[in-house]
């Protein structure tokens, strides 16, 4: 029996595939490589000494998906094939709804057709909107999303709720990620967005490496200890391990619909992150305070208690590992590039 991972060569997908392979699972990756590189497959193999089966297709292609379900014995699907850039989603809402919502529906339809009803969905803290109490728990109301990316996650969550109500033989786990950062400690896989990053950690890394000149800190007048925004950063390897725990739960349970917040439970400000990054990696981050970024909220952190109680999962890695691994991934890539240049490749 295999686990199908859509978006399996992406940032969170590749780390999750590693954990699944190391656990001993057969893994099938479906990814159209629109936001990842084929080389990730070799890196995964180098780390695990195992290879996932790979289909280069877009998960909206229903006929192709059907063929995969015909050819393989699939027990569960982990859907990580989402677009995730907030700003881009505002500019291209139809593209986001098509990929994130129609994609999920297509996948669920094919699963239903083949009687595969175990599903893990990557959602986001963004579905809680702008709460006024912290920490955020799973009992908080979801809704009031502020951009098409967030709304697409909310829509899929609602679809899953309705699907489960209509047929409670489904076994579904919704994972709401807080702010994933870091990279695999091998330095072989990580996050390396093309162009100018939107998110804080990839931006810091590019300033530290000299690729970008200065980090804009979006506002220092929030009601937080130093005025900058507070987030619950979580190491991507911890996040990947949560998928294993969710998989174990679904394997154990016959049916159900569960949701879990995945964070460390600790909120760090932007300045905390900068200071820690500088200290851990012995580098300087050139930054300046600018206006608030439209749509940003002041504070966002979770209580990871439910995930601990019900999945037996908690984050093991702290801010030191998050800063160290984000940096060593980029340094390793830079060294490889330099080596290839020196050799005339
Ligand atoms: C955003 C999305 C979230 C999504 C996540 C990952 C919202 C409200 N949030 O999270 O849904 O899952 O991206 O893609 O839609 N910051 C700077 N300078 C920068 C970049 C960020 O100061 O150059 C600050 C931000 O103001 C914020 C913190 O750093 O306080 C984290 O920002 P970011 O990494 O973009 O994540 P979120 O906005 O929390």
The per-residue pLDDT for range 181-232, each reduced to its tens digit, is 999 999 999 997 777 899 999 999 999 999 999 999 999 999 999 999 999 9
- Give strand pairing partners of 27: 3
Cα distance between residue 296 and residue 302, in whole Å? 17
Q: Which residues have C-beta within 8 Å of that of residue 84, sequence separation ≥ 6?
A: 124, 149
327 and 283 Cβ atoms separated by less than 8 Å: yes
pLDDT band at 340 (very low <50, low <70, confident <90, very high): low
pLDDT tens for each residue of 276-318: 999 999 999 999 999 999 989 999 999 999 999 999 999 999 9
Band of residue 244 on the pLDDT scale cut at 50, 70, 90: very high
d(C-alpha 132, C-alpha 298), whole Å: 10
How many whole angstroms separate alpha carbon 244 and alpha carbon 214? 38
Whether the predicted pLDDT of 234 surpasses 80: yes
pLDDT at 250 over 90: yes
Residue 54 has pLDDT above 90, yes or no: yes
Name the 3-class secondary structure at 32: coil
What confidence score (pLDDT) does residue 224 get? 98
339 has a pLDDT exceeding 90: no
DSSP code at position 100: I
What pTM, to 2 d.p., does this model score?
Answer: 0.97
Q: Is the pLDDT of residue 344 over 80?
A: no
Ligand 1 atom closest to the CA of 201, numbered from 1: 34
Q: What pLDDT sits at residue 334?
A: 77
| Ligand 1 pocket mutation, candidates 200, 216, 276, 287, criterion most atoms within 8 A of CB | 200
pLDDT of residue 341: 73
Q: Which of 7, 270, 285, 326 to mutate to test the pocket of ligand 1 (most atoms within 8 A of CB)?
A: 270
- Can you give the pLDDT at residue 345? 63
Q: Indicate whether residue 200 lines ligand 1 (CB < 6 A).
A: yes
- Return all residues near 165 (Cβ < 8 A) that are at least 6 apart: none
The token duo for 79 is 């859907």
pLDDT reading at 72 higher than 80: yes
**CA 33, CA 291: separation in Å to the nearest integer?**
35
Residue closest via CA to ligand 1's atom 12 equals 124
- Dist CA 11 CA 40 (whole Å): 10
Pairing state between β 230-231 and 268-269 = antiparallel
From the alpha carbon of 300, which atom of ligand 1 is closest? 39
Sign of CA dihedral 302, 178, 330, 47: positive
């Amino acid at each position: 029996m295999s686990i199908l991972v859509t978006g399996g060569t992406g940032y969170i997908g590749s780390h999750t595939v590693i954990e699944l392979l190391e656990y001993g699972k057969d893994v099938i990756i479906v990814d159209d490589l629109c936001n990842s590189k084929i080389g990730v497959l070799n890196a995964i193999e180098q780390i695990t000494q195992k290879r996932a089966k790979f289909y280069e297709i877009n998960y909206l292609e229903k006929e192709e998906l059907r063929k995969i379900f015909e050819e393989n014995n699939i027990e569960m699907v982990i859907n990580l094939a989402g677009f995730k850039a907030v700003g881009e989603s505002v500019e291209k809402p139809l593209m986001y709804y098509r990929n994130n919502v129609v994609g999920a529906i297509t996948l669920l339809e094919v699963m239903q057709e083949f009687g595969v009803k175990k599903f893990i969905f990557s959602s986001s803290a963004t579905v809680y909107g702008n709460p006024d109490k912290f920490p955020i728990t799973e009992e908080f109301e979801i809704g009031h999303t502020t951009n098409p990316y967030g709304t697409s996650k909310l829509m899929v969550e609602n679809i899953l709720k309705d699907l489960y109500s209509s047929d409670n033989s489904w076994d579904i786990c919704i994972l709401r990620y807080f702010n994933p950062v870091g990279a695999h400690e091998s330095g072989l896989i990580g996050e390396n967005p093309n162009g100018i990053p939107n998110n804080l950690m990839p931006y810091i890394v590019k300033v530290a490496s000299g690729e970008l000149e200065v980090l804009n800190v979006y506002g220092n007048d929030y009601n937080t200890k130093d005025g900058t925004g507070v987030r619950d950063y979580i190491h991507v390897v911890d996040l990947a391990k949560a998928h294993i725990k969710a998989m174990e739960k679904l394997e154990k349970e016959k049916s159900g619909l569960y949701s879990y917040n995945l964070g460390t439970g600790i909120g760090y400000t932007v300045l905390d992150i900068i200071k820690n990054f500088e200290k851990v990696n012995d580098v300087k981050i050139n930054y300046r305070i600018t206006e608030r970024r439209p749509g940003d909220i002041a504070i966002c952190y979770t209580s990871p208690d439910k995930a601990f109680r019900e999945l037996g999962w908690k984050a093991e890695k702290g801010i030191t590992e998050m800063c160290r691994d984000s940096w060593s991934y980029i340094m390793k890539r830079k060294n490889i590039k330099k080596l290839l240049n020196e050799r005339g490749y």
